[in-house]
Amino acid sequence: MTDEGLSGTALFDAVVNLCKRRGFVFPSAEIYGGIRSTYDYGPLGALMLRNVKDAWWRAMVQERDDVLPLDAAILTNPKVWEASGHLATFTDPLVDCRSCNERSRADHLEPDSAGVIRCPKCGSTDLTDARPFNLMFKTWVGPVEDEGSVAYLRPETAQGMFVNFANVQTTMRRKPPFGIAQLGRSFRNEITPGNFVFRTREFEQMEMEFFVPPADSSRWHEYWCEQRLAWYLRYGIPEELLRLRAHEEEELSHYSSGTSDVEFAFPWGWGELEGIANRTDFDLKAHSEHSGVRLEYFDQATGERYVPHVIEPAAGATRTMMAFLIAAYHEDEIAGEKRTVLRLHPRLAPYQVAVLPLSKKDELTSTTDEVLDLIRPRFMCERDDTQSIGRRYRRQDEIGTPYCITVDFDSVNDRAVTVRERDSTIQERIPISGLVSYLTERI
Ligand code: GAP
């Protein structure tokens, strides 16, 4: 088997093309010509995105004693965004080109060799001064569109955790250190969305706020940096495509005393997958001041009272899914035949198993149904009975299905099937009665 590595634009184009061709990601409302940088997740994308979120949930909530889940509203009281600083400071510097009206982020414009800043579209130097542009989407709640009914689509899920700190802490009787985790949609009116689903205006985040005694915050920051880097490795991103990068002082957000990003080597260079920030007591203090409700921890046993500090690992689900796809994409050759294969972790692949009856003949139907009934409750399966078996293997390789089960004419009598593994292409004969344990051990 030989493996030809694509890189750069060729790799990016191949992944974007595969996403469209195989039903992972479609341009949104394509029949109307789409809408800039907005995407719909097709059948395979919806399955994979769900798997990415499940993998995060498993590591951050299910496998831990000290993190609790939350599902907060997207539309909330606008005072939340006043307290969090988003109304005043969640801005990007915007410049307009007076020649072609192109809008750009001033901090993304590079001077040319003569040190002159030009419009990236038409090259004109006639640009407006930079002015702050707030990234929050504004809307109105109820039938009257006036100042009193203004609301915002949340630009991050994090604030839902801060405003529910006291609710969660008291109802669940928790003492720091403990965390609150949530995943869901966030919205930002990005000036320059792009690079496929890397930067979009609507995206999904996976965030956790970990509340700790102030003196322990540095130790917990280090701990979460290690944990989060390990998660990407656990789900199959090679070490050389990942790095942890500490922010320079001038890069830090208004709430952060220290942030490290998990970065991935995207085809165009290093890009952020997740930020792990030490948010200090900024958020709980701000919400206490604005709401008038004390947000602190009081230890009845010791009489100790303090505002916990917060360590926040904040990841993007849609962006991370794209990184998993890019890392998994390979073109190789088996016995002289080229194939495209997504070497996805079995838990991330849209389908874990494909069941392929060798023929459409009725003789194989009941055994195929029996196999599917057996494994479907545990694994996402696809039944495919069209075209030659070789072509069906290639189709499953291309979407990353780790195991293909072939039901043939012998299966009816010997009660066994052939299981083919995606990466090695090795095939094994397995009794139907042993299939569930065979697959459970490997997926
Ligand atoms: N609560 C902190 C926070 O929201 P962030 O670095 O702005 O921090 C966290 O966002 C993660 O959300 C990013 O690392 C990225 O993966 C994802 N993200 C942010 N903006 C995005 C966008 N416009 N499109 C896709 N993903 C985005």
pLDDT tens digits along 47-84: 999 999 999 999 999 999 999 999 999 999 999 999 99
CB 178 within 8 A of CB 211: yes
215: left (phi over 0), alpha (psi -120 to 50) or beta: alpha
Beta bridge partners of 96: 103
Share of the chain above pLDDT 90, in %: 89
| Ligand 1 contact, 199 CB (< 6 A) | yes
CA distance 186 to 202: 6
Establish whether residue 207 lines the binding site of ligand 1, counting it when its CB lies within 6 angstroms of any ligand atom: yes
Task: Please work out whether the CB of residue 420 comes within 6 Å of at least one atom of ligand 1.
Answer: no
What pLDDT, on the 0 to 100 scale, is given for residue 71? Answer: 98
Amino acid 96: pLDDT: 93
Tell me the β-bridge partners of 122.
Answer: none
To test the ligand 1 pocket, which listed residue (28, 272, 278) has its Cβ within 8 A of the most ligand atoms?
272
**DSSP characters over 5-16:** PP-HHHHHHHHH
- On the question of pLDDT at 4 being above 80, the answer is no
Alpha-carbon torsion, ordered 356, 362, 363, 365, to 10 deg: 40
Q: Is the CB of 401 under 6 A from ligand 1?
A: no
Rounded to the nearest whole angstrom, what is the distance from the C-alpha of residue 314 to the centroid of ligand 1?
Answer: 7
Ligand 1 atom nearest to 207, measured from its CA: 1
| Cα(205)–Cα(216) distance, integer angstroms | 26
Confidence class for position 1, pLDDT limits 50, 70, 90? low
Peptide bond into 177 cis (omega under 30): yes
Mean local confidence (pLDDT), 395-422: 97
Residue 136 has pLDDT above 80, yes or no: yes
User: Per-residue pLDDT averaged across 332-338, rounded?
Assistant: 89
How many angstroms does the Cα of residue 76 sit away from the middle of ligand 1? 19
Give the pLDDT confidence score for residue 392 in this predicted structure.
Answer: 97
Q: How much distance in Å is there from the Cα of 240 to the middle of ligand 1?
A: 22
185 membership: H or E segment, kind and range: strand 178-187
Residue 108 is predicted with a pLDDT of 87
DSSP state of 146: S
- Which residue puts its alpha carbon closest to atom 7 of ligand 1? 156
8 Å CB contact between 261 and 245: yes
Q: Which two tokens stand for residue 284?
A: 């709980």
Q: Helix, strand, or coil here: 405?
A: strand
How far is the C-alpha of 66 from the C-alpha of 59, rounded, in Å? 12
CB atoms within 10 A of CB 189: 15
Q: Do 245 and 260 contact (CB within 8 A), yes or no?
A: yes
Give the distance (Å) from ligand 1 centre to CA of residue 21. 27
Task: Give me ligand 1 centre to Cα 335, in Å.
Answer: 43
pLDDT of res. 250: 87
Beta partners for residue 397, in sequence order: none
Residue with CA closest to ligand 1 atom 6? 275
Cα–ligand 1 centroid distance for 316 (angstroms): 5
Phi-psi region of 369 (alpha: psi -120 to 50; beta: other; left: phi over 0): alpha
SS3 375: helix
pLDDT beyond 60 at 2: no
Q: Is 275 in the pocket of ligand 1 (CB under 6 A)?
A: yes
The pLDDT of residue 370 is 97
Q: Whose CA is nearest to atom 15 of ligand 1?
A: 316
In 3D space, the residue among 202, 194, 184 whose CA is nearest the CA of residue 105 turns out to be 194
**pLDDT band at residue 424 under the 50/70/90 scheme:** very high
The protein residue whose alpha carbon is closest to atom 16 in ligand 1 is 316
Alpha carbon nearest to ligand 1 atom 25, residue: 199
User: What distance lies between CA 383 and its chain's CA centroid?
Assistant: 28
Task: Say which range, 1-10, 204-213, 223-232, has the weakest mean pLDDT.
Answer: 1-10
Q: How far is the CA of 185 from the centre of ligand 1 (A)?
A: 11
Which residue in this structure is represented by tokens 């900024």? 282
Would you state the pLDDT for residue 144?
93
For residue 365, report the phi and psi dihedrals to the nearest 5 degrees: -65, -45
Residue 334's pLDDT is: 86
CA-314 nearest atom, ligand 1: 9
Does the CB atom of residue 203 touch ligand 1 within 6 A? yes
Backbone angles phi, psi at 278, to 5 degrees: -95, 100
C-alpha to C-alpha distances, 61 to 64, 114, 179, 182, 269, nearest whole angstrom:
6, 53, 9, 9, 32
- For 250-306, the pLDDT digits (tens) are 888 888 889 999 999 999 999 999 999 999 999 999 999 999 999 999 988 889 999
Q: Tell how far the Cα of 309 is from the centroid of ligand 1, in angstroms.
A: 21
The rounded distance, in Å, linking the Cα atoms of 276 and 372 is 42
**How many Cβ atoms from other residues are within 10 Å of residue 358's Cβ?**
19
Question: What pTM was computed for the model?
Answer: 0.95
DSSP assignment of 276-345, as one string?
EEEEETHHHHHHHHHH-----EEETTTTEEEPPEEEEEEEEHHHHHHHHHHHHEEEEEETTEEEEEE---
205 lines ligand 1 (CB under 6 A): yes
Note the maximum CA span of the chain: 79
Mean pLDDT of the chain, nearest integer: 95
